[in-house]
Amino acid sequence: MNLLNQLNNKKIILASTSPRRKELLEHIGIRFTLPLKEDITYIGAEEYPKNTNIKEVAELLALQKLQRFSKTIDNNTIVICADTTVVVGDKILGKPKDYSEGVQMLKELSGKTHSVITGVAIKDISKTLSFSDESLVEFYPLSDSDIAYYLNNYKPFDKAGAYGIQEWIGVIGVKKIVGSFYNIMGLPTEKLYQKLSSFI
C-alpha cells in the first residue's frame, strides 16, 4: 500500500481557511475535512513575539494554530496547520487592510526579490512535527496601471503581500522563482507529502 492510500485511511483535518491550501491538498489526492465553524476565528489569529527571527514567524504561527486542536485528536487523526509570510528585507508584509495598502505593498515588491515562507505544523496523538519552506520571487517593475488593474479586478486583500502568484499579477509580473511554486501559493506540497510519511 503506497503512502497516499495509507494517509487516506486516516482522518486528516486541514486546519486552514485558505481556499488555495484546500485546492493544493486536493491535488495531492489526500482526503481531508475542514475545521468546525467555531475554530475559524482562532485560525485567523496572527500574533508572535517581536523578537522572533523573521524567517521563523510562519512556522511559529502554524504551531500556534495547531494548539487549538490538541484535545480533539484521537488515534486515527492527523491535523495540518500552515501559515505563509511574505518577507521583504527585514519586514513582513501581511494582508492589506484596504486598496491603498495593497498599492503600497505591490510597489514595495516591484522590481525586487522577496521571500515567501510557509510554515507547516502537523500533529497526531503522539507527536508534533513542524517545518518551513522558503521560495524567492523576483518581480519585474510593476506599473501603476498594472497594480491598479490587478487590485481592482482580483481584490487580493486576503493574501499576504497583496498578491497571489497563480493570478494575473504572477502571470505577467514574475521574472524569476527559486524554490517551490506551490509553497508560494501557501503549501509546500512536496515537503508536506514527505513529512507525512513519518505519521504512518
CA distances in angstroms from 86 to 17, 23, 56, 95, 199, listed in the order given: 18, 20, 12, 9, 29
d(C-alpha 22, C-alpha 43), whole Å:
14
Catalytic one among 39, 83, 133, 146?
83
| Residue among 9, 6, 16, 12 nearest 197 (CA) | 6
d(C-alpha 31, C-alpha 10), whole Å:
9
Q: At residue 95, does pLDDT exceed 60?
A: yes
Q: Tell me the CATH class for 3-199.
A: alpha beta
pLDDT at position 140 is: 98
pLDDT at position 48 is: 73
Q: How many CB atoms lie within 10 A of CB 21?
A: 24
Residues 22-25: contacts with CB within 8 Å, 24+ apart? 24/182, 24/185, 24/186, 24/187, 24/189, 25/80, 25/187, 25/189
Q: At residue 126, does pLDDT exceed 80?
A: yes
* Residue 83 designated active-site: yes
d(C-alpha 21, C-alpha 82), whole Å:
9
Contact assessment for residue 109 and residue 141, using Cβ atoms and an 8 Å cutoff: no
Q: At residue 102, does pLDDT exceed 80?
A: yes
pTM for the whole structure: 0.92
- Averaged pLDDT, 183-199: 97
